[in-house]
Structures are given as structure tokens and as C-alpha cells.
Structure 1
Amino acid sequence: MRTGGLFLMHSLSSPSSAASLNLKEGTNWWWDVNESPVWQDRIFHLLAVLYAVVSVIAVIQLVRIQLRVPEYGWTTQKVFHFLNFLVNGVFVFRRDAQNMQPEILQHILLDIPSLAFFTTYALLVLFWAEIYYQARAVSTDGLRPSFFTTNALVYVVQIVLWLVLWWKPVHVTIIISKMFFAGVSLFAALGFLLYGGRLFLMLQRFPVESKGRRKKLQEVGYVTSICFTCFLIRCIMMCFNAFDDAADLDVLDHPILNFIYYLLVEILPSSLVLFILRKLPPKRGITQYHPIQ
């Protein structure tokens, strides 16, 4: 009976032990991959290839638009695709940037793509705001100055943070810089929600039988949802990154986490938006299509 009781107790405790063992093995696997130089190289190169593909798609679309409407200069749509090409293309040099000395150069070179990513998609918000106000016969004269002022303010604040970090590289300054990026991402998310939502509701009031209305409604709805979610996730992750070293957005130190992060907040959103906005502008009778002054 004693032997049987011991056997029964072992049997009852074995599932818990097995679960603990599996959890430990899973945790070990995660850290083994993170600490492996081979896996760090593989994941970085995979991300670099994915970014390069998105960059090539953006520049192909830019060329297609230029061939379709060569008589127009740098329109909002062209600039949007050109910035997508640059933002996604520079990821290939991220590893070199992370090894730069002095350290302030690392912060500058790693922050610039994030700033450019904000500007790229803020341009899309501007484009939709212009369409919305023009459709309502409201003057759009103040939109572009507001766009440039907002971007200039973001860049000036970031430059000040870089100078402070260079003058006195304390941890608090790094936290403030990351929280600033979180705030910028939240601002972009709210911009998509505001103007994308307004444009979506306006299109809903158009005649149901309008084919163009249905396509534009789907386009605005999809892009608004994608970009709002993308920038909201970016905001949340930057907040974690500011206070938790385990959430550091460093591809070399946290390859698995960063693969998921960059896939969700940059590669997939950029790919989907480029696919949804793949339609070329008409050759004649163009409205809502103005060069940037």
C-alpha cells in the first residue's frame, strides 16, 4: 500500500512537473535563439530582405505613377511612395548604425527612420484631410502649413533631445526620448482615426449604387484600420521599451521579439497600404491631385 501510495502521488504530481519542464524548455529555447549569433544574423537578414521587397514595390509604384502623369511634379502621392522607398530601404544599414561610435550617432541614425516613417504616413493623413475638406467645400489653405509645422516641431524636439543626450547621456533622457516617440505614434494613430473616420463616414452618405464609392469606402476603411492599429501598437511597445529592458527594440539583442514587432508595425502595414493604394491616378480630369508647394 505504501508503494502504491507513493506511485499514485508521483502520478498526480507528474503532469505539473511535465508542464514546468515544458515551460522551462520553451523559455530556454527563446533565450537560446536570442543569444545565438547565427539566429541573430538569420532574423536580421530576413527582416532586411522583407524591407527591401517593400522598398522595391514602393519605387516601382512611384515609377508607374510618374509614367502615368509625367506632367505633374512631386505630388502628395508621389512623395508618399518615395518616402516609403527610403524608410524601408535604410533598414539594411541598421546593423552598421548600431555599431557606430560615439553612441549619440547610434541614437540619431536609429531614430531618423522612425521620424521619417511618421512623416510618410502623416502625408497620407494630409491627403485624406484635403479630400475631405474639398468635398465639403471648405478651404484647405491651412492644411499644408499645419502639416509642415507639426513635422518641424517633431523634428526640432527630437533634435533637442539628441543634444541633451549628447551633452549628458543619462538614462532619464533616453526614457524621455522613447516616450516622445510613443506620443508621436499616438498622435499619428489619432490623426488616422479622425480624418480616415471622417472620410469614411462621408463616403457612406454617397449613393449606394456608386461603384467608385464602394471601392473608395473599402480603401479608406482598410487603410484607416491598418494604420491606426499599427501606430497604436507602436505607441504601446515604445512605452514598454522605455521602462523595460526585456522589450528593447534592438534587432540584434532580441531578434524574435523584434521580428514580430517590425513585421506587425512596419512591414505588413506598409505592404498592405501599398497594395490597397496601388490604383494609378487618371490621366485626365484629375482632382485632388496637387503638387506640394
Structure 2
Amino acid sequence: MYEYTGETRMGPACLRSEIMVAESTEPGCYSKALVAVNIALALVDGVIAVLAFYQLIRIHSRNPQRGWTRQKVFHLMIGSSNTGYGLYFILTLVAACKNWICWSNSCGFVVMALPKILFLAAFLLLLSFWVDLCHQANDEDEDEGSPYEALVMKANKSNLKVNNSRRRCCNIRVFPVGSRQQVVILVTLFILLLMLTSAVLIWIGLGKNPIDSSVVARVYVDTFAVAMFLLGGALACYGYVLVSKMSKVRSERSSSEKWKVAGLAIVSVVCFTSSSMVAIFTNIPVLYHCDWRGVGGLYASLLLILYYFIGSSVPSAFVLWVMRELPPSVAVNVPEESRTLAFVSDYSPSTQPQHWTSITTAQNQTSRASPI
């Protein structure tokens, strides 16, 4: 915390943008506008988290014997991310009024960064599935027949042997992880390690040493913003490729899935670009580090809405809406399930559910692919 001497004093991170002081507040607390925005954002993220976990429970109750499907993983990650955002907004208000010294340094940084990492991991996972599908589809472009059928048959041939060997070795149903999904896990772990390293450096920088805590926080935030910007661009590119391929298939199901992919791509690039620009050119991501008495006004409130609501809440809610379909109920004496590759949802009305990272089909059956 910086000593208050009657005028606003901020560290270097808080000098990046000039956030106006609008109305007077209690000592150490946010302005009324920022308090209202933080509470509203906390409520929005809380509602999204509740819906995600509620839908996760419903999905699991439809077929408790199933392992972790792609649909379950996305709901878990979205729910956890929005829970973290909601806690961050509430704790930020409490810390401001209670003058928590730790919060303005490492503690606030960690609580701010963790939900964003989960959010990034969820959309990296989405990108990995789209990349898998595009590359597999490209290998079958010269084949005759439906591109979906070629894609499913190719995936069946390459994955059936691996899945059968895993079933023989393990009695516990554990989902297989594809090579690109392994890359997503490694990237997420690397970002988590980078965040923890930054938190340690921020804590060390509080003492008498050359390390500037605010600069460390800004470097991390800017790096993360660039990663989100690139992720939005990648989703837009692969989304365009998928939509182009799906346009060649004339069916009601394909048309529905095409619009879901297009919607996800558009929402991702617009929301991620806007939040990245706010992160790079303003202090909103490191607002916990600024002098609370010197922050307020409509300008800061609008930036908060743009960064958190548009940048995180809208994409999360859109993913939940796209994946709202429930799997079929458990049936008695059903043979080994048929699994299909999906673009947007794990399940279709005419197929059994599939694993979230593999495509296998039993009894020599193939079915249409769906985009997530």
C-alpha cells in the first residue's frame, strides 16, 4: 500500500492510463460506480458458474457410467473460471475497504490471474479440437464421398487400436488425451508456472531490491493479453476453415452446426480482441494494485465491463449455450457405445456420446460429425 498524503499516489503500473476520480468515497474504498460494477460483474459470473455446474450435474445424471466427456470438461472449466472471477470481484471490494496490504500485491495478483488461466485453457482446448478436425479433414480432401464419413473412418482406424489396448490395461474409465490436447495441458501448466513465478517476484519486489513489482505484473498481463489476442485470431481462422468444409454438406444438422462454429469464432475474435486492447493500454487488469482512493468514475467502470463482461462472461455464456444439449439417457442392454467426433457438442440425437478427445466407433458404424 502507498501512504496516503491527500493526493493520489500510484505505482508505475497505475500510471499507464489516466483513470479519472469521479466522486468521493469512504477512505480506502472504491467509488460508488466501481462498487456497483464489481457487484454486477460478480453476480453475472456467479449465475454463469451456477448454470455451468448445474448443467454438469444434469449431464452426469443422464449417464453416470460415462467418464469425462468433452462436454463435462468444458462445463467444469467454465464453471470454475467464473467462480474465480466472482470471488475476485467480491474480495477486491472487501480488500479495498479493509486495506489489505497483501491484496494489493501478490494475493490480488494470484486471485486475478487464476480464473483467466482456466478461461484460456478452455478455449485452447476448443482450438485443439478444431485443429484436429481441420488437419484430419485436409488429409481426406481427395477421397470420394462425404468429408464427414472420410473423417470419421480415418479417426476410427487410427484410434481403435489405442483405445482397445487401454481398455485391456485399465478397468477404470479414463479418457484418452490426444497429442494436441497434451500440448494444451503443457501450455496451461507453463502459464501457471509463469504466474506463480511472477507472484513470487512481486512479493520479493516489496523489499529493498531492484525488482519493481508493478512492472512484473504489467509484463505478465501484457504477455497474457497478447496470448488471448492470438487465440482469438486462431479460432477465427480455424472456424472459417471448418465452416467452409461444412458448407459442402447439405443437411439440416450440418447447417445448425455451421452456425454454431461461426458464432463461436466471431464471438471469440471480437471479445478477445477488445479485452486484449483494454489490458495492453489501460490499468484495468492490475486495478487491485492501484491506489483505491484514486480510482473511480464512468471511464473505469466502462473499461471494467469491456474487459471482464465482454472479454470473459460473454464467451463463457455463449459456449454454455452452444453446448446446452443433454446426452441421451442410459438405455438397458445397449451394446458398446458408438462415439463420433464433434465440433460443438458431444452428442447428437441419433448417436451415443463420445469421449472429449477421441473418436472411436464400434460395430463398423459411422455417423455424421458435429463441430465441437
- For normalisation by structure 1, the TM-score amounts to 0.77
- Is the CA contact (8 Å cut-off) linking 1:190 and 1:228 kept in structure 2? yes
Aligned residue for 1:31, secondary structure, equals coil
* Counterparts of 2:321 and 2:132, CA distance in 1: 22
Query: 1:8 maps to what in 2?
Result: none
Query: 1:163 maps to what in 2?
Result: 200
Q: Which amino acid counterpart does residue 106 of structure 1 have in structure 2?
A: G
Shift of 1:282: 4.7
- Is the CA contact (8 Å cut-off) linking 2:221 and 2:285 kept in structure 1? no
Q: Which amino acid counterpart does residue 38 of structure 1 have in structure 2?
A: K
Pairing 1:230-245 to 2, within 5 Å after superposition: 230-241=271-282, 245=283
Shift of 1:90: 2.3
Partner of residue 127 from structure 1, selected from 123, 126, 129: 129
Shift of 1:107: 1.0
Pairing 1:243-282 to 2, within 5 Å after superposition: 245=283, 250=287, 253=295, 254-282=300-328
* Counterparts of 1:122 and 1:86, CA distance in 2: 16
Q: Which amino acid counterpart does residue 122 of structure 1 have in structure 2?
A: L
* Counterparts of 1:173 and 1:90, CA distance in 2: 22
Shift of 1:216: 0.7
Q: Mean alpha-carbon deviation: is it higher for 226-235 or for 154-163?
A: 154-163
Change (3 A) 1:134 1:78: farther
- Is the CA contact (8 Å cut-off) linking 1:74 and 1:292 kept in structure 2? no
Partner of residue 183 from structure 1, selected from 223, 226, 230: 226
Unaligned runs of 5+ in 2: 1-19, 138-150, 160-177, 206-210, 330-336, 342-353, 359-372
Query: 2:257 maps to what in 1?
Result: 216
- Is the CA contact (8 Å cut-off) linking 2:275 and 2:310 kept in structure 1? no
Query: 1:74 maps to what in 2?
Result: 68
1:205 aligns with 2:242: no
Q: Mean alpha-carbon deviation: is it higher for 157-166 or for 70-79?
A: 157-166
Query: 1:290 maps to what in 2?
Result: 355
Query: 2:91 maps to what in 1?
Result: 96
Shift of 1:30: 8.2
* Counterparts of 2:80 and 2:324, CA distance in 1: 18
Aligned residue for 1:32, secondary structure, equals coil
Change (3 A) 1:31 1:249: farther
- Is the CA contact (8 Å cut-off) linking 1:97 and 1:110 kept in structure 2? no
* Counterparts of 1:146 and 1:239, CA distance in 2: 26
Q: Mean alpha-carbon deviation: is it higher for 148-157 or for 125-134?
A: 125-134
**CA-to-aligned-CA distance 1:34-62 (integer Å, 9 cap, x gap):** 99743333222211111111111211221
* Counterparts of 2:280 and 2:69, CA distance in 1: 35
**CA-to-aligned-CA distance 1:108-146 (integer Å, 9 cap, x gap):** 111111111101221222233344445543668421222
Pairing 1:46-61 to 2, within 5 Å after superposition: 46-61=40-55
Query: 2:184 maps to what in 1?
Result: 147
Shift of 1:165: 2.3
Q: Which amino acid counterpart does residue 113 of structure 2 have in structure 1?
A: D
Shift of 1:164: 2.4
* Counterparts of 1:205 and 1:66, CA distance in 2: 34
* Counterparts of 2:225 and 2:278, CA distance in 1: 8
- Is the CA contact (8 Å cut-off) linking 1:200 and 1:220 kept in structure 2? yes
Aligned residue for 1:280, secondary structure, equals coil
Shift of 1:173: 1.8
- Is the CA contact (8 Å cut-off) linking 2:22 and 2:31 kept in structure 1? no
Q: Which amino acid counterpart does residue 259 of structure 1 have in structure 2?
A: I
Query: 2:108 maps to what in 1?
Result: 106
Q: How many residues align?
A: 259
- Is the CA contact (8 Å cut-off) linking 1:33 and 1:40 kept in structure 2? no
% identical equivalent positions: 21
- Is the CA contact (8 Å cut-off) linking 2:225 and 2:276 kept in structure 1? yes
Q: Which amino acid counterpart does residue 262 of structure 2 have in structure 1?
A: G
Compare the two structures and name the one with the higher helix fraction: 1
**CA-to-aligned-CA distance 1:212-267 (integer Å, 9 cap, x gap):** 110110110001111122211122111113xxx4x566387433431343221122
- Is the CA contact (8 Å cut-off) linking 2:110 and 2:199 kept in structure 1? yes
* Counterparts of 1:285 and 1:33, CA distance in 2: 63
- Is the CA contact (8 Å cut-off) linking 1:97 and 1:109 kept in structure 2? no
Change (3 A) 1:235 1:199: same
Unaligned runs of 5+ in 1: 1-28
Change (3 A) 1:147 1:260: closer
**CA-to-aligned-CA distance 1:61-94 (integer Å, 9 cap, x gap):** 2122212333221122211101111111223322
